[in-house]
Amino acid sequence: MSDRNVDGLRDLPLWRTFLAAYRAGSVSAAARTLGLAQSTVTAQLQALERSTGEPLFERFARGIRPTPRADELAARLAAPLDALASAVGQDSTAAAPVLRLGGAAEFLARVALPALAPAVAAGLRLSVTAGLADDLLDAVRTGSLDLVVSAVRPRGRSVAASALCDEEFVLVASPSRGIAPSAELSAAELADIPLLAYAHDLPILRRYWRHVFGIRLERDPALVVPDLRALAAAAVGGAGVTVLPSYLIADELADGRLIVLRPTDDPPINTLFLVRRPGALSPHAATVEAALRAAVSGF
């Protein structure tokens, strides 16, 4: 009888190690995930590289980086290996798997967590990570996160992404600033009003000035804080004017603590995307996605 590994099934443990290393970004992290010695993980990866005849990872002092060949293999292997693990690893007595969700802190706090609270109360286990879009997309590509709400559309085909909603941006201030709202409000009328910005390069403000006023914003901000909720609080306190997504300040607009200074039928918008990791997802993923889509239906 032939002892050849014709169908490759004998290498399944090695490919499981490969996928863990690919997602973790380091040999040591993969070893912890798999419950193996670091030397064992290293030996298994080397065995796979000998088998494929080419390197799968570049080694660095602080981790490993997949080669294009590894990206290709991970994209092909993630779904079947995850499905196999799910099929043979189910235990009716085990706790439900944790769904790992990522997004901007403001969206998570204002929209996602209130929308998912009933599901959590009903048994959903959820781990939430707040961060910047590029970092979150890296995490979902490597499998560290299951779902990400991203303000940046991911490039390539390593992850699946679909539009979730469009967020609209509005120019706001406290009524105490004494600025009369008007569809004809000019940028010149705001020249002496302090600007409240998310970052020193004023990305949101510059975009608004270009889209609505049709000019380049050349001013320096009076306040910089990388948290849109903090900007809203500062604006409510009368610190100055800022540009914010309307969903984030719905309550402040409704009760008059903030006013829209320049109403327009053509506000700047930004599309948020729901990004899914490669491979099989938790059975709760559909529940989470449905809850998020229902929560943003009124945007």
pLDDT score for 59? 87
Q: What is the pLDDT of residue 88?
A: 63
Would you give the DSSP letter of residue 216? -
Nearest to 27 by CA among 77, 62, 73, 78: 62
Which helix (DSSP H) or strand (DSSP E) does residue 161 occupy?
Answer: strand 160-173
Q: From CA 38, how far away is CA 254, in angstroms rounded?
A: 57
State CA 125 to chain mean position distance.
18
> Does residue 132 or residue 10 have the better pLDDT?
132
Q: Mean pLDDT across the stretch 147-165?
A: 88
The reported pLDDT for the residue numbered 72 is: 85
* pLDDT for 89: 55
Rounded average pLDDT over 45-74: 87
pLDDT (0 to 100) of residue 240: 97
Handedness of CA 170, 174, 176, 177 (dihedral sign): negative
pLDDT of 94 reads 44
Q: What is the pLDDT of residue 299?
A: 78
Tokens describing residue 112: 């996602």
Element (H, E) at 276: strand 269-276
pTM of the model: 0.69
Rounded Cα–Cα distance for residues 260 and 249 (Å): 10
Most confident of 19-33, 88-102, 154-168, 251-265: 251-265
pLDDT for res 257: 98
For all residues of the chain together, what is the average pLDDT? Answer: 87
Would you state the pLDDT for residue 6?
45
d(CA 242, CA 16): 49
d(CA 147, CA 161): 10
Higher local confidence (pLDDT), 77 or 191: 191
**Nearest alpha carbon to residue 131 among 113, 151, 117:** 151
* Residues forming beta bridges with residue 58, ordered by sequence position: 65
The confidence score (pLDDT) of residue 151 equals 94
Q: Mean pLDDT throughout 149-153?
A: 94
- How much of the chain exceeds pLDDT 70, in percent? 90
CA atoms within 13 A on the CB side of 281: 21
Compute the chain's Rg from CA coordinates.
Answer: 24
Average pLDDT on 19-34 reads 80
Q: Is 220 helix (H, G, I), strand (E, B) or coil?
A: coil
Residue 10: the pLDDT is 72
pLDDT, tens digit, for every residue of 206-218?
Answer: 999 999 999 999 9
Task: Report whether pLDDT(63) > 50.
Answer: yes
Give the model confidence (pLDDT) of 179-207 as tens digits: 999 999 999 999 999 999 999 999 999 99
Q: How many CB atoms lie within 10 A of CB 235?
A: 25
Could you tell me which residues are beta bridge partners of residue 66?
A: 57
Angle (CA) 145 146 149, round 5°: 85
